[in-house]
Structure 1
Amino acid sequence: MTDKTTSPPPSEEPAGELLLTSPPTFLGSVEGATVEAIAALAREGSVPTILQVPTKGLGPDLPDNVPILWDRHAQKPISLLEEVRAAKPPLERVGTAVVTTLASFIELTNRHKDDGSAIFAKTAWPEPKLTAVIDYHMPGETKTARRGKHRIAYPFPLTDEFKVWVAGHGKTFKQADFAEFMEEHAAELAAPDQYEINTFEPMFKERFGTPAEILDLSRHLEVNVGAKMKSAVRNASGERQMVFETEHTGANGQPIDIPGIFIVSVAPFLAGDAEPEVVRIPARLRYRAAGGEVVWFYQLYRWEFFLRERVQDDLARAAKETSLPAFEGAPEMAA
């Protein structure tokens, strides 16, 4: 009898395959939320941050704190200087420089001018002015405009002497006050030239008085006006006599000849160290009886016209010495 050993039946599963019924668990594995949190921390650690560095007391003109951008990964500051410089708009020359003499206007305009600069002028009273627009439009350029914000202005500051003569235009003076006025402003009286004599004496049907005659008249003239009043003024002593008679006579009773016009020669504008340019203005001399005494007054003939001529001459000089185009008027853009 032979013993037989029964072997177990062979497995039906293929060799070499391992069936898993659930995911394997490894030591140290993390959940998905944890992974995301770790990634977020990593991203945060690589993002630069702004730090405030205290600087108070370290020097003048410093703020209390200066912000810097800190690279937390590299542990050093990040320079933004080049980026700031690139983002900064270019500097522009803007504003109006105001000068008080024509020479300064010419010199400063020459310092800043370019091919597009131009001079504009207001030549009429009461506010004559030269304005150099340094950044005016380039000649011939139609596609690119400039702002016209960089300017130099010369407002023709008036001299005190000119202001006084204009203020006294048409004003009545008592004879003592008239004498004092003429003495104070004797330096601005001038003898007429031949052109002025030929032009204004026929026009006014009056004769010119010389400076000496006008001063003598203001100091010593004795005038009878209407009735029996004689008026005499000597400014040095203050003596005064008034007698009315029927004709204009002098102190000796003889008729007197009063000049009807004289020349005022005065510098209207400040000139600094330069020789001032003057205007010559004919002035009509008048007197009349008022309130029992003689009063005097003068009238400057067309003084605004002579002043405008002076401004136009200065405009021509500025244009010549700066080699810039000049226009009477104003630029189209505001300052």
Structure 2
Amino acid sequence: MDKTEDIPEGRDPIRELDAVIEAERISAPVVEGHNGDKILMLPRGFTTQIVEDEFALPPHIAASVTVDKADSHIAYINRFRDDNSILLADHDSGKIIARLDWHTHNAEGSPLSQRLEDAPPAPRHEDAPLAPRQDRHRTTFILRASEEYARWNEFEGKMHSQEEFARFLEENAVDIGDPEPSVMIEISRDLEASQGAKFSSKTRLENGDRAFTYETETHVKGDIVIPRSFYLNIPLYYGEDPVQLECLFRWRPTPAGLQLGFAWRRVEYMRRAYFEQIATRISEETGLPLFFGRTGGN
């Protein structure tokens, strides 16, 4: 049977289909083009037209770069910064962010501030005082914990068996500055030698160290002298210079043997101070104003 017999007279399915497709095409006629331009899509046979927006920002760079070292951060900032760029330093996240195309300002003495009195109300052009800019170009420096600090920090705050603690001291003795690494290795060997011994007493020496008296199953007695604290020379952050950190010895005599560990002494204060020091150096070497905090876009 000829299918054309089922089509009512005067109907053209092809043209109707084209009309449906055309309607779908223009159902959302405004699309975003290159550099944020708004483009109006008109039906077939017409031309496209850019939708003018008096508040639209001009073409801009949209880039977000993450660097691993402060020197790389400084070099990138100095390459792309302008008079409106700023630094935001957030200690909690360990990030120092340069917002390179930040909004214009009215800082005293700047060319912008000199036009404030004569400027028309609510200026909209980009170089006017207090006008918005794109804020799409930034570089982020994330201060990551150094390998050495991460290793010691993982071990800190927990109590360990003599064998485990002695092995850790020996493996990481190169990080210890005071007392000498050889002294710490000797302590670790004394700990290994007394593994499983029964500790009967401890005495505080004149210098604050502790001497533990122990007795083995064969009734051999001996002493282990453990310093009150020891010092590490390690970087806090990856790529930075070593600093001196104090570690307080912790111990717990138990029937099964001596439990040992250590705790940081005011290290978090040092981390915050060192973070601020790095942020200040970046500000000084780039000339950008520094703000400690964060925005919703961080």
TM-score scaled by length of structure 1: 0.58
Report the secondary structure of 2:285's partner residue: helix
**Counterpart for residue 106 of structure 1:** 74
Give the whole-Å Cα distance in 2 for the aligned partners of 1:284 and 1:254.
23
- Correspondent of 1:267 among 221, 225, 235: 235
**Counterpart for residue 157 of structure 1:** 144
For residues 112-131 of structure 1, the aligned pairs below 5 Å read 112-124=80-92, 127-131=93-97
Instruction: Tell whether the 8 Å contact from 1:279 to 1:310 is kept in structure 2 after alignment.
Output: no
For residues 1-150 of structure 1, the aligned pairs below 5 Å read 90-124=58-92, 127-140=93-106, 141=112, 142-150=129-137
Q: Name whichever structure is richer in strand by fraction.
A: 2
Report the secondary structure of 2:226's partner residue: coil
% same residue: 24
The Cα of 1:263 is off from its aligned counterpart by 0.9
**Counterpart for residue 286 of structure 1:** 250
Give the whole-Å Cα distance in 2 for the aligned partners of 1:135 and 1:246.
66
Report the secondary structure of 1:312's partner residue: helix
> Which ranges in structure 2 are unaligned for 5 or more consecutive residues?
1-43, 107-111, 113-128, 203-211
Give the whole-Å Cα distance in 2 for the aligned partners of 1:119 and 1:245.
58
Per-residue Cα deviation, 1:13-50 (whole angstroms, up to 9, x for no partner): xxxxxxxxxxxxxxxxxxxxxxxxxxxxxxxxxxxxxx
2:186 aligned with 1:216: yes
The Cα of 1:104 is off from its aligned counterpart by 1.1
Give the whole-Å Cα distance in 1 for the aligned partners of 2:188 and 2:288.
48
- Correspondent of 2:197 among 242, 253, 259: 242
Q: Structure 1 pair 143/178, CA: closer, same or farther in 2 (3 Å)?
A: closer
Give the whole-Å Cα distance in 2 for the aligned partners of 1:151 and 1:278.
29
The Cα of 1:300 is off from its aligned counterpart by 0.5
Q: Structure 1 pair 157/173, CA: closer, same or farther in 2 (3 Å)?
A: same
Q: Structure 1 pair 334/291, CA: closer, same or farther in 2 (3 Å)?
A: same
Q: Structure 1 pair 254/137, CA: closer, same or farther in 2 (3 Å)?
A: same
Give the whole-Å Cα distance in 1 for the aligned partners of 2:243 and 2:196.
37
Q: Structure 1 pair 145/175, CA: closer, same or farther in 2 (3 Å)?
A: same
Question: What one-letter code is carried by the residue in structure 2 that aligns with 1:242?
Answer: A
- Correspondent of 1:304 among 251, 268, 274: 268
Q: Structure 1 pair 137/217, CA: closer, same or farther in 2 (3 Å)?
A: same
Instruction: Tell whether the 8 Å contact from 2:147 to 2:238 is kept in structure 1 after alignment.
Output: no
**Counterpart for residue 257 of structure 1:** 225
Instruction: Tell whether the 8 Å contact from 2:157 to 2:261 is kept in structure 1 after alignment.
Output: yes
The Cα of 1:242 is off from its aligned counterpart by 2.1
The Cα of 1:154 is off from its aligned counterpart by 0.8
Per-residue Cα deviation, 1:228-271 (whole angstroms, up to 9, x for no partner): xxxx25xxxxxx45245455337874554321111122212222
Q: Structure 1 pair 105/284, CA: closer, same or farther in 2 (3 Å)?
A: same
2:279 aligned with 1:326: no
Give the whole-Å Cα distance in 2 for the aligned partners of 1:256 and 1:164.
26
Q: Structure 1 pair 255/133, CA: closer, same or farther in 2 (3 Å)?
A: same
Give the whole-Å Cα distance in 2 for the aligned partners of 1:291 and 1:131.
53
Question: What one-letter code is carried by the residue in structure 1 that aligns with 2:101?
Answer: D
For residues 145-224 of structure 1, the aligned pairs below 5 Å read 145-191=132-178, 209-221=179-191
Structure whose alpha-carbon radius of gyration is higher: 1
When the two structures are aligned, how many residues end up with a matched partner? Answer: 221
Q: Structure 1 pair 100/286, CA: closer, same or farther in 2 (3 Å)?
A: same
Per-residue Cα deviation, 1:260-310 (whole angstroms, up to 9, x for no partner): 111122212222xxxx32232211012112351111010011221111111
Question: What one-letter code is carried by the residue in structure 2 that aligns with 1:215?
Answer: I
Per-residue Cα deviation, 1:56-101 (whole angstroms, up to 9, x for no partner): xxxxxxxxxxxxx99xxxxxxxxx99x88x9998432123211111
Report the secondary structure of 1:265's partner residue: strand
> Which ranges in structure 1 are unaligned for 5 or more consecutive residues?
1-68, 71-79, 192-208, 223-231, 234-239
Instruction: Tell whether the 8 Å contact from 2:229 to 2:246 is kept in structure 1 after alignment.
Output: yes
Instruction: Tell whether the 8 Å contact from 1:280 to 1:306 is kept in structure 2 after alignment.
Output: no
The Cα of 1:323 is off from its aligned counterpart by 1.6
Report the secondary structure of 1:148's partner residue: coil
